[in-house]
Amino acid sequence: MRLAGKKALVTGSGSGIGQAIAIEFAKEGADVVVNYRGNPSGADETRAAIEKTGRRAATVQADVGITAEARRLVADSIAALSGLDILVNNAGIEKRAPFLEVTEQDYRSVMEVNMNAPFFLLRDTQAPGRIINISSVHEELPFPHFTSYCMSKGGLKMMMRNLAIELASCGITVNNIAPGAIETAINRKLLEDPKALAALNSNIPIGRMGKPSDVAHVAVFLASAEADYITGSTVVVDGGLLWNYSEQ
């Protein structure tokens, strides 16, 4: 198993991509802290799946957009597992609005969860190991009506590149995974709209949306010894969407 004996914290792991990563880590031998903000049943589901593999799991409620709670999350995770080797900054939110209608509160909410949280979580996770940020193709690709979201992911890209250099001497690698369109709750409306789904799939060379497992398998690789020499990189997981996208 590629992560045997490792201890991981995956933020926002009560559903979707985070849940898939947490479970895949456990299948590969890691003990995992499951973090959630407001979905305890989803976190319990993730925990049960982890324990079914024979690995240890702990659930910790924390709103990572609040810096004090993010810092508590790291401390509680270290206490629960007696250390941390892997941090996956998965929790993220988006708010749709034309630029001139974006509220200050929505802007701040997106930045606090998508940028502030990874920054402060990473600062408190100082042992040698792996940092994996779940970014988005929108760290590169414009997304009209989601300016704050794109800004947060672009900022996450530059944070990753800077810290890959600063933290290399500490034995810490820092990388991003940039998913494209993935079958998660955030895309529920799209999945229920056959016309919109067909239009999206026509923009994806592979011809389908991604699954959370497509991202989870890359996360396992980046967390493993196989990725010892990879840092400061974004791995795009999008079926070719980024370089083929056009507005319909």
Cα→Cα distances 183→46, 96, 135, 197, 211, Å:
17, 19, 16, 11, 5
Q: Which of 36, 107, 149, 229 is catalytic?
A: 149
* Angle between helix 104-111 and 147-166 (nearest 10): 30
Type and span of the H or E element at 61 = strand 57-61
With beta carbons less than 8 A apart as the criterion, state whether 9 and 77 touch.
yes
SS3 170: helix
Q: What CA–CA distance (Å, rounded) separates 224 from 208?
A: 28
Active site residue 149: yes
**Token pair 């802290």 is at which residue?**
33
150 touches 142 (CB < 8 A): yes
Radius of gyration for the alpha carbons in the chain, expressed in angstroms and rounded: 17
DSSP string, 92-129: -------GGG--HHHHHHHHIIIIIHHHHHHHH--SSE
Residue 56 CA to residue 54 CA, distance in Å, equals 7
Catalytic amino acids?
149
